[in-house]
A and B are shown apart, each in its own frame.
Chain A
């Protein structure tokens, strides 16, 4: 610690000239004046001394026939003196400290620990959904409440906690032990995905709140995932099939003359530097042609620790536009295949009736297909927690 003391209060490198330098050193030692790193070269003694002791040494040098000269000045005191007229330097130093203090109130790096099956990207994405991301103020993080919200948002988490160290947030978690066949499930209700009349109820878990014969509208609660026990409240994943009679109409519209986009070999790469969540594009201009876009982000590390600097590589695949003219039959086939694609998204249990309607439009045709059918209208809806804290 002596070096720190000497640096803060300043010290001098002095040169002692004269034939009786050792006499002066003896006097200094007797008077408690500390001189260190003494060396002798060509009749001159060089050593280091504290500033206060230097003045004492000057007072006791009489009678030794020695001359003392300051060779170098060291320490913070002289460093600041050197720059005392440079106000900008001190303003810069103050601003640096201020900015450093301000930035230390934010989260700049998020680390995830304890994940095996879930990817770090998935968890960081879930954190973002609940308002925890790189650049969020530390005060906005309520560890207890947010860890519960993360459990509800991201399926497969048995337990998690948030630990903040400086500007680094570490998400510690343990995953639910599930077999490969079993799906990761989050607590949820079942709501109606479409208007209909309930025909059959087949529930594996959850609390059923409707009965067969009921007419329900889209969004109505069918099965609740909140089960009140004697002493506690359980949140469960509601599972089951609710069959209802529904009527759905699918439409597809197309022109005889259509513009289609085809991929080309022209691929443009552009880089962006993300510095403390501030995006700095490393390119000029923008791409006006139609394109497919994908981005690859690389997080920079220093000594195996992530730092809040990222480099994003954006890839633009340029598309070419061309015009195609279809005849009536071909267009009809395209529209039917479009309807089939829409229908394939639904898992109809039983189709009762199908009605087709083709309308000629000014430039093409409109196809309406109405399905009367039985389908599963159970729609999973995650349970959201709400708190004042």
Chain B
């Protein structure tokens, strides 16, 4: 969701750098924190073309944005490599800041997580994966977040799907991360309703309203997912959606041994209007009965990772035994002491804390350099 035009912000930032005499070197990766006589002395960087950029400075602020672009670190800290870049493409954030800081003697704090994408699932096999725009993607990915039945790769249910729809980041992101890729199981009746009515009309008919369904305003203006039929076909063609006439066939095609049993139990909850397993809000319970059936493979995507260097309350990097490393600051998503997993339940908290920590470190680093 881009609410502030990128060009406008780029212009504003560029003008601010010019106004305050900040020199920016682009295509330049930081390689190492320099030290002289045990004190922080600057950063050694390298341009894409191999040329060197050496900056001598008393204060260093590490703000490289986490490790979303580093599969090895994703596996190490989040337990899976199936985390996509919500803004599409490859992330340049490959954990450089963490590596540099550790090499310079810092320790990492213990919390690792991610700022997940709230617009649906995604899949690297898709030609139109999740993007920053809510609906500029294959709309079949909406089944990865609409509150319908979800299963893991054994065909077992793994979460209260209603909470995922209601609070995609704070409640939804840890279970979906743990099971990424996870699978939405829907029938033709539900597909038809989502195509023709859309989630808002479907759920308001079932009792959701402006007061009791916070996320509803999100879906209100949208209407049905008009391109759903062709989007499903596209997913089947690309290999991330499986379609079958019967549930038994779907179980066979996917290899999900527990699928038919899971669906039978789930359908009984739908009939009773009570989710006896995970307590999902009854208006989300949508039976899976009317073939053909679909299994939609969804992976999570992220705006950023969380987890990194341990700092004090002034964003100063800490070595073992909480010893402050004078002149070294860590901010934004590289700061491991400020973020939480699952993500905060206040929208914009990550961005807010990035800005806030930047201000804190900016003051501190400036004062230290001039002292």
- B is a partner of A: no
Interface residues of A (CB under 8 A from B): none
Interface residues of B (CB under 8 A from A): none
